[in-house]
Amino acid sequence: MRSTVSSPSRVSRARALIVCAVVAAAAACSPYRQESPGRINADVFRGRLGSFVGAVAGTSANDVFVAGSVEATGCQNRTLAIARWDGAQWTDTTVPAGFGRAAALAMVSPTEGYAIVEGCDSPEPGVAFLRWNGVGWTPIGQAAAGVAGSVTRIQVLASNSVWFAANSAFAYYDGTMLRVAPATSGTQILEGFAALSATDVLVLSNDPFNPMTPRFRRYKDGMWAVVASPVAGQELTRLAPAEAGAALLGTNAGLFRWSGAGTPTGPIAGSTLPVATLVSNGDGNYFVERARCASLCNDLNSMLCRAACSYPVSRGSATGERDWPRLPAAFYRTPDGRFWQYKPDTSLSLESFE
């Protein structure tokens, strides 16, 4: 099913915004400014010493939110910041006090969005969940057991139907109430998450202190259960949402799609190359990085394996796969069909591929 095409010839690359270069001057001028009409910034928080970019999401090319933190006294020397691009300029949105940084972001509409943010506790801050109502961000609940690590996820099933995942913290919001799932045992580091429904989620995690702890679990109808890999003879290495009611399963024998019952379909695109990295928002689109090696590495993302292998990247959907320039750290697809991709660090690189 794999269809190989050339990389998009029209690539809109983001350019750096000219912002306040001196922290002391940040109060005197806006830290966000449009550099070129129709383009989004590459350094949203530059000019605020100690800034951090954690997530980006939006509803259109002219409605983009960027979340992170900026330097401040207290709260581990940082405070939450979320900026919004309206097609002409960047503005700071209203955020609640007492939070250190944003770790995940998802937008449903210009008046509905969600964020996972860290609290200010030390040494391990818990997480809180925020909702955007078109005017500002307000807390809808928290999970003291969760720690926002390198993997945090927000999966929107529909308006007012959202799952949050942050390491050992999992919660579902129905538009009125936030329901936090019971904590899993052990010290779990989240590696993959996919919600099949409002009451059914799949979790791939790792316990660094106990390698024998089962990695693949399912939370269904209020109960946790250890489940075997649906792909016969293959351990799961990656997990992400595919589309409503389905998950993408990465293995050393390729990428598979699973509805939560029966036998998974695949390998997708006919490729049996090991899946090294998988990125998906659950909207039917995904990016996958496969490892092409003469011999299989124990750790596909180790420096040794990276040096010895090639890692072709593909963008996939229900219509097939196509070669892609590079793997995004995260992305979102706007209604006009464009993809915004970013690399989360202090130098936000945001690009649009049509």
Domain boundaries, the chain: 48-227
Calculate what percentage of the chain has a pLDDT beyond 90: 32
Task: Identify which of 72-76, 128-132, 349-353 has the greatest average pLDDT.
Answer: 128-132
pLDDT reported for residue 22? 24
Tokens (6 digits) for 182: 């019971």
Query: Which of 47, 39, 31, 38 has the alpha carbon at shortest distance from 15?
Result: 39
Q: Which residue has the higher pLDDT, 143 or 59?
A: 59
Could you report the per-residue pLDDT of 187-211, keeping only the tens digit for each? 567 889 999 999 999 999 877 666 6
Mean pLDDT of the chain: 75
Q: What is the pLDDT of residue 5?
A: 25
pLDDT band at 109 (very low <50, low <70, confident <90, very high): very high
At CA 235, angle to CA 252 and CA 247, rounded to 5?
Answer: 85
**Sorting pLDDT into bands at 50, 70 and 90, what band is 351?**
low
Looking at the predicted structure, is the pLDDT value of residue 104 above 80? yes
Q: Where are the alpha helices (DSSP H) in the chain?
A: 303-308
Question: Tell me, what's the pLDDT at 263?
Answer: 95
- Residue 319: per-residue pLDDT: 83
Per-position DSSP letters for 88-145, written without gaps between them = S-EEEPB--SS--EEEEEEEEETTEEEEEEE-S-SSS--EEEEEE-SSBEEEEEEETT
Averaged pLDDT for residues 156-181: 90
Q: What is the pLDDT of residues 38-57, one digit of tens each?
A: 334 444 544 444 556 677 88
* pLDDT class of 144 with cuts at 50, 70, 90: low
Which among 1, 6, 3 is positioned nearest to 324, based on CA atoms?
6
Least confident span in 32-36, 227-231, 278-282, 301-305: 32-36
pLDDT at 1 over 50: no
CATH class given for the domain over 48-227: mainly beta
Tell me: pLDDT of 114 over 90.
yes
Give the pLDDT confidence score for residue 122 in this predicted structure. Answer: 54
Residue 40: predicted pLDDT: 44
Q: For residues 324 and 26, which has the higher predicted lDDT (pLDDT)?
A: 324
Average pLDDT value for residue range 94-115: 88
Six-digit token pair at 43?
């350094």
Measure CA of the first residue to CA of the last residue in the chain; give whole Å.
22
Query: Residue 13: what residue type?
Result: R
Q: What percent of the chain has pLDDT over 70?
A: 67
Report the pLDDT averaged over residues 123-132. Answer: 79
pLDDT tens digits for range 230-287 = 999 998 989 999 988 999 999 989 999 999 999 999 999 999 999 988 988 888 889 9
Nearest to 268 by CA among 283, 282, 255, 259: 255
CA angle 78, 82, 86 (to 5 degrees): 155
Single pTM value for the model: 0.79
Say what the pLDDT of residue 173 is: 96
Highest mean pLDDT among 14-18, 157-161, 163-167: 157-161
Question: What is the pLDDT at residue 299?
Answer: 73
- Is pLDDT of 2 > 50? no
42: left (phi over 0), alpha (psi -120 to 50) or beta: alpha
- Which pLDDT tens digit goes with each residue over 89-101? 778 899 988 887 7
More confident residue, 238 or 213: 238
